[in-house]
Structure 1
Amino acid sequence: MRVTGGWPLAVGLLLLGWLWLGPLPDMARRAFSPHMILHLGVAVTAAPLIVIGLLRLSPGRGTLRYPVLVAVAASALEFAVVWGWHAPAMHEMAARSHSRFALQQLSFLVAGIALWWACLAGRTREELAIGGVATLFASMHMAMLGILLILAPQLIYAPQFCLGAFGLRPLADQQLGGGLMALFGTLPFVAAGAWIASRLARQEPAGRR
């Protein structure tokens, strides 16, 4: 039962292996939309699967001792990692070096796991509500970054690191990356927020028990 219940962990780890060992890392250092596909695959697909699998394997151990502190710290870390690595100087620095690129990808995973743990590990009404606020904040700043990239009238990143992919010109490729961020960086958090809201609706306030 424990192995069966933990299948999201296995899927998340397999996905992570495919993302990091497949063709995307090399493409991501030369074009923006593959970078965004890789980022979203790690942070909002593999990371929540890993967290869900760990929580299923250890029910009750995910209870947050200091839910507000955990949520604020995880949200701040994830915000700093996402916006920091997408600043032109940081993005280009990572693209120039294998070791810095690996650090970038590892930070996406660590920040993603921390945030999804803060969002999904709650059990009490307070913890669930705090997790819901964290999902809302994450969806908002991911959408904001994506929209800024879509609306940029020119390349934000140096041309040698934004050559274009999938037959697209560099600017269109950058805008595609922004669109992926705005849509697929937001939807998982919206879905998580809806799941949290449904759990809150099913729980009775403490005073009524």
Structure 2
Amino acid sequence: MAWAGIAAALAAMLWALPWNAWIGEFATHMLRHIALVAIVAPVLALAMPERWRGFAPPVLAGAVVEFFVVWGWHLPGPYLASTEAGWIEAAQYLSFLIVGLAVWWGAFAAESPLVGAAGLFLTSMHMTLLGAILIFAGRTICDNGMTLADQHLGAMIMLAVGTPAYLLGGLVLASRVLSLPEERST
């Protein structure tokens, strides 16, 4: 139950503080996006009762769905729509949290730690690619008044938080293989 409380507190902080005024609109979007998928979602996954393990989605399926959700929301049309209508923005963040939870819960509950690690590494790769595209872009992803500096800061947040979170999670799961007892055939 403590993990769920931590996740709720982290999520509340994402909206309680005036991030837009501090770091810009796109950087705020990316801070919220990455915090939901790479911090709040794994904390929620840790809060899942062991008896629910059988309900966890397959991590690789979760990673594929997460890819389409994340990349879809960062296309110019959907991103712009999310900045213009509060309910679309809420749907966007809810979908980030759901797919993030699917990946992390699926990774933690996978029968093999290596399968869980593979799902997290796959997610890390596509998130890193999206961050790199956004940071090296010579123009903004949409014409809504966003500055290139704001987009670049958002991309740096994605790379500085998202990439290490997924890599660390994958490494922790992969390290479990080294500590598993060796199976012996008789």
Instruction: Show the counterpart of 2:62.
Output: 74
C-alpha distance in 2 between matches for 1:45 and 1:51: 10
Aligned amino acid, residue 81 of structure 2: M
1:131 equivalent in alignment to 2:112 = no
Q: Would the alpha carbon gap of residues 81 and 94 (structure 1) be closer, same or farther in structure 2, given more than 3 Å must change?
A: same
| One of 178, 191, 194 as aligned partner of 2:155 | 178
The count of aligned residue pairs is 185
Counterpart code for 1:195: V
Q: What is the match of residue 28 of structure 2?
A: 34
Amino acid paired to 2:121? L
Distance 2:55 2:90 in 1: 30
Q: Which of 102, 106, 112 is the aligned partner of 2:90?
A: 102
For the pair 1:45 / 2:39, whether they are aligned, the reply is yes
Residues 30-68 of structure 1: CA deviation (Å, up to 9, x unaligned): 7211110111111111111111122xxx23542578x7x
Partner Cα distance (2:55, 2:122) in 1: 19
Cα offset, 1:154, TM superposition: 1.5
Please say if residues 80 and 144 of structure 2, whose CA atoms lie closer than 8 Å, have aligned partners that are also in contact.
Answer: no
The separation in 1 between residues aligned to 2:51 and 2:181, in whole angstroms, is 19
Distance in 2 between the 1:34 and 1:116 partners? 23
Residues 157-182 of structure 1 show CA distances to partners (whole Å, capped at 9, x for unaligned) of 2133x2xxxxxxx1111111111112
The residue identity in structure 2 corresponding to 1:107 is S
The yes-or-no answer on 1:200 pairing with 2:177 is: yes
Alignment counterpart, residue 132 of structure 2, candidates 119, 136, 147: 147
Q: What is the alpha-carbon distance in structure 2 between the residues aligned to residue 103 and residue 185 of structure 1?
A: 21
CA–CA distance in structure 1, aligned partners of residues 21 and 44 of structure 2: 25
Deviations 1:63-119 (A, max 9, x none): 578x7xx12320111111110101111100111101101100100110111111111
The percentage of counterpart residues that share the same residue type is 30
8 Å CA contact retained: 1:94, 1:101: yes
TM-score (norm 2): 0.90
Partner of 2:80: 92
Aligned-partner Cα distance in 2 for 1:90–1:174: 16
